[in-house]
């Protein structure tokens, strides 16, 4: 239930599905068409034709940069990759404390510390230039924090960022400590671009709710990371790959899928809350995977085709296709990323989309404050006799 300006209750669907809560210039998802865009450009076309820095600039400034603007933006964001000493020195303790939870949990703490160390002030109290500067600092630092936390968790020393590498190449370099192969860089860059933003998903909406209170940018991003960590939102790439491992061989596809569907279990990597046709991100990532080739890719394509056929049989009338997570896991595995870094890598891209949404929300003075329908015992009830004071 929501409330209008006159405080008249309005019934809304569970989960606010399909409810428009604001206006945005950042992009949209057209679920029935299988299309999504960043500002005025196709997101998939951007992923296949432009750099991550191009798209980052587009999301923050509303236009693609020219050569001079791109060079200045790339240099500026590369400088910001180096962490403040207080954050860098705290990462070993954060990694030890989150040894079981992993880099994404550690990022929540590191982001809070970054915001405090850098002096992030409430969005309500600063102008757009200051907000944008905070956003650049946070976005540039996130890959450094994520890769450092991962390496520390593996008993390795963090790798310092290199300003001469692109965002995607530097991410792979900091993760592995080796110069990445061009094919891997391009595949990861396309993946990162394709996941920068995607409508009012739970983490983006969480970031905007916090931003509507006027909180500082780090607080907004920490909330978004928390929402992303849920397995029903950002935790599916590795789980989709687990599905391939569990099936194992082509002759087991039918029995494995039938058993789980009949038990009412969700097949990770299939279905989407918005798309009613093939997820365009899945289509693009499948093409990237096929460029690598090999048995893993061939098996994934075979599994995809058979699962879609089985789902059409077992769940007639529902359009269930692969979503971004299915082939994202395959592509990231092909590029040498460990599974525990799949969702953090997603986060390294979505941090830009969150920041753009936070900046946009900060321009709206209206706090996001929906209502709930009370369904408990009717009040007021008499207090129990002799209740302690």
Q: Measure the CA–CA gap between 279 and 316, rounded to whole angstroms.
A: 19
Q: What are phi and psi of 29, to 5 degrees?
A: -120, 120
Mean pLDDT of 202-210: 96
Least Cα distance to 344 among 133, 101, 58 occurs for: 101
Give the pLDDT of residue 209: 97
Name the pLDDT band for 191 (thresholds 50, 70, 90).
very high
pLDDT score of 389: 65
Mean pLDDT of the chain: 90
pLDDT of amino acid 60: 97
For 271-310, what is each residue's pLDDT tens digit? Answer: 655 656 777 888 899 999 999 999 999 998 888 888 778 7
pLDDT in the model for residue 2: 45
Residue 320 confidence class, pLDDT cut points 50, 70, 90 = low
Q: How confident is the model at residue 321 (pLDDT cuts 50, 70, 90)?
A: low
Active site residues: 272, 325
Burial tier of 90 (Cβ tally within 10 Å: 0-12, 13-18, 19+) = middle
88 Cβ contact list (under 8 Å, min separation 6): 148, 158
Half-sphere exposure of 147 (CA within 13 A, CB side): 27
Cβ 236 vs Cβ 269: under 8 Å: yes
The pLDDT assigned to 143 comes to: 98
Q: Give the global pTM.
A: 0.90
pLDDT tens for residues 334-373? 999 999 999 999 999 999 999 999 999 999 999 999 888 8
User: What pLDDT sits at residue 34?
Assistant: 78
pLDDT for 178 equals 96
pLDDT for residue 159:
98
pLDDT of residue 272: 59
């Amino acid at each position: 239930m929501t409330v209008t300006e006159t405080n008249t209750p309005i019934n809304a669907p569970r989960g606010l599905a399909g409810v428009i809560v604001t206006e945005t210039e950042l992009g949209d998802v057209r679920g029935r068409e299988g299309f999504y865009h960043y500002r005025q450009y196709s997101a998939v076309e951007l992923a296949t034709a432009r750099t991550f820095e191009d798209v980052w600039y587009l999301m923050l400034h509303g236009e693609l940069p020219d050569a001079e603007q791109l060079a200045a933006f790339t240099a500026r964001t590369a400088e910001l990759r180096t962490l403040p000493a207080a954050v860098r020195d705290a990462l070993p303790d954060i990694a030890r404390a989150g040894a079981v939870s992993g880099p994404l949990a550690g990022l929540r703490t590191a982001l809070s510390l970054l915001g405090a160390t850098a002096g992030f002030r409430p969005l309500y109290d600063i102008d757009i230039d200051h907000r944008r500067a905070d956003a650049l600092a946070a976005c540039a630092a996130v890959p450094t924090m994520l890769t450092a936390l991962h390496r520390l968790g593996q008993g390795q020393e963090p790798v310092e960022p290199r300003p001469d590498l692109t965002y995607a190449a530097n991410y792979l370099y900091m993760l592995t400590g080796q110069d990445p192969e061009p094919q891997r860089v391009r595949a990861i860059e396309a993946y990162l671009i394709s996941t920068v933003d995607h409508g009012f998903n739970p983490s983006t909406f969480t970031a905007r709710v916090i931003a509507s209170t006027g909180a500082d940018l780090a607080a907004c991003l920490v909330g978004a990371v928390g929402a992303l960590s849920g397995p029903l939102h950002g935790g599916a790439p590795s789980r989709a790959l687990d599905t391939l491992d569990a099936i194992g061989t082509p002759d087991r596809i039918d029995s494995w899928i039938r058993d789980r569907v009949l038990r009412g279990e969700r097949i990770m990597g299939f279905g989407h809350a918005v798309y009613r046709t093939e997820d365009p991100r899945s289509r693009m990532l499948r093409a990237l995977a096929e460029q690598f080739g090999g048995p893993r890719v061939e098996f994934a394509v075979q599994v995809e085709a058979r699962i879609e056929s089985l789902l059409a049989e077992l769940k007639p009338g529902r359009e269930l296709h692969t979503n971004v997570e299915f082939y994202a896991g395959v592509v990231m595995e092909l590029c040498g990323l460990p599974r525990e870094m799949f969702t953090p890598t997603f986060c390294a891209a979505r941090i830009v989309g969150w920041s753009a949404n936070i900046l946009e929300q900060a321009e709206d003075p209206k706090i996001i404050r929906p209502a709930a329908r009370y369904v408990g015992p009717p009040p007021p009830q008499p207090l129990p006799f002799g209740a302690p004071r």
